[in-house]
Amino acid sequence: MLFLVLTSINLFAQDLEVDAIKKVIDKAYIEGIHNNGDLNETRKGFHPGFDLLMLQNNQLNKLPIYNWIESSERARKENPNAQRPKTTVNYVNIDVTGTAAVAKIELLREGKLIFTDYLMLYKFEEGWKIVGKTYFRHP
């Protein structure tokens, strides 16, 4: 009986962590970066040491979060009325071990799969933060 109680408590705690991770991804990444949302939420949800790792022409390139935010700000200023289809997210898997997590997500626009992302997160004293990303762009 004690085993069942402890297992239930652990699963509940795990669910709370997964919910917290989804909230950070939704606010900071999906809304903040992809859907022209509040970039202050992006700053809160991404660790300053975050790097987007990109495989381009067989070379590994990095884009730090501050460059990504600056690029988003510049694009918004240059074309403040730009309309693009809303990006939605499908959570494929979130794996949490202690204070580390990996989220596999799919990003869609107008129902079409555009990216599969692998986000790495750590839980800091102030909560979960996205610390790295790799991805695949679907044709």
Q: What is the pTM of this model?
A: 0.88
Single out the residue of 96, 135, 134, 127 nearest to residue 28, CA to CA.
Answer: 127
What CATH number did the domain enclosing 31 receive? 3.10.450.50
Average of per-residue pLDDT values in the chain:
92
Give me the DSSP letters along 74-107. Answer: HHHHH-TT---PPEEEEEEEEEEETTEEEEEEEE
Question: What does the pLDDT average to over 11-16?
Answer: 74
Is the torsion defined by CA of 19, 24, 30, 36 positive or negative? positive
Give the max Cα distance, the chain: 62
Report which secondary-structure segment, H or E, holds 125: none
Measure the CA–CA gap between 131 and 32, rounded to whole angstroms: 16
**The total number of structural domains that make up the chain:** 1
The three-state secondary structure class of 60 is: strand
Q: Find the DSSP H helices in the chain.
A: 2-24, 39-45, 65-78
Containing domain of residue 73, as a range? Answer: 2-137
The predicted structure's pLDDT at residue 92: 98
pLDDT tens string 38-89: 999 999 999 999 999 999 999 999 999 999 999 999 999 998 888 889 999 9
The predicted structure's pLDDT at residue 132: 98
